[in-house]
Amino acid sequence: MRPSPGKARAPLVALAAAALLALLFATMIDFQSQLIFPTHAVPSPGPLPTGAVRVTQPTGDGQTLHGVHIPPSRPVPGPATLVLSFAGNAWNSEDAADYLHQLYGHAHVVGFHYRGYRPSTGTPSAEALLADAPRIYDFAVARINPARVVAVGFSIGTGVAAELARKRELDGLILVTPFDSLKAVASDHYPMLPVGLFFQHEMNSAAALRKNEVPVAIVAAERDGLIPKKRTDALRRQVRNLVFDRTIRGGNHNDIYPRADFHAAMRQALDELGS
């Protein structure tokens, strides 16, 4: 008995719908990767300060991370402080390290380009960035042998720094415009989309710090248009040892960096961590 035309078409319609959903799924994954890791938008670095040294570190799976070590700008007696820099997703990591060097001239500053961010090789992903952070820590500690290590994360780098605190011993964290969960941030920006179904780059800072006694400093922007206030507030509630908390009044996500009140907050944050 031959099937009716309607019944014959049903499997084809289902197959076409499945193919369309698969295409939509793949497109959304590619879109989120480009949005979260805009490697094409990162500018070339500015000149490095005197004494800075470019360094490299293999990842263990055939890729190479490129970074910079900026020593203190002035001799400082006593044990060395190491500041690990984790830049925002569209900030050149050399420039971010130099920025911290200008703030913390007494410290060694080490920062690496994320995987897939030139000249580092490979493809960026949350999994890769989180896996590479302990390698960067181990490299920097072996090179400098510091007495204290503080990780500073900016924006997406706060997720990397927070996870590092779960895997290595840190003396403090400074989190600038941080979030509790990157997936939650994306869901807030696209409430009409089923973000949770296809989100591939989760960084959960709240989970990393919920049971961690590492001293944490948070510096937020009052009018942050990228990281919703409720996402930073949710992180605050999970931090066990919040020793410094400052919101830059009137500041937005990207305009706080030249401001004197932000510079003062960053220096006070490091002081509150005991460095």
CATH number at residue 232: 3.40.50.1820
pLDDT 10s digits, 35-57: 899 999 999 999 999 999 999 99
pLDDT 10s digits, 236-267: 999 999 999 999 999 999 999 999 999 999 99
CA-closest candidate to residue 89, choices 154, 151, 134: 154
Residue 140 shares a structural domain with residue 202: yes
The answer on pLDDT for 24 being more than 50 is: no
pLDDT 10s digits, 198-211: 788 999 999 999 99
Mean predicted confidence (pLDDT) in 98-107: 97
- pLDDT computed for residue 4 by the predictor: 56
Residue 86 shares a structural domain with residue 14: no
Measured CA to CA, the distance from residue 123 to residue 142 in angstroms comes to 26
Residue 123 shares a structural domain with residue 242: yes
Measured CA to CA, the distance from residue 261 to residue 267 in angstroms comes to 10
Residue 166 shares a structural domain with residue 218: yes
The answer on pLDDT for 10 being more than 70 is: no
Cα Rg for the chain, rounded, in angstroms? 21
- pLDDT computed for residue 22 by the predictor: 46
Measured CA to CA, the distance from residue 145 to residue 139 in angstroms comes to 10
Residue 62 shares a structural domain with residue 146: yes
Kindly state the tokens that stand for 174.
């400074």
Q: Of all residues in the chain, what percent carry a pLDDT higher than 70?
A: 88
With 0.95 as the threshold, say if the pTM is over it: no
The answer on pLDDT for 192 being more than 80 is: no
Residue 75 shares a structural domain with residue 187: yes
Mean pLDDT of the chain: 90
Residue 134 shares a structural domain with residue 17: no
Domain span at residue 3 reads 1-36
Residue 22 shares a structural domain with residue 156: no
The answer on pLDDT for 180 being more than 70 is: yes
Count of alpha carbons within 13 angstroms of residue 135, beta-carbon side: 21
Measured CA to CA, the distance from residue 37 to residue 33 in angstroms comes to 6
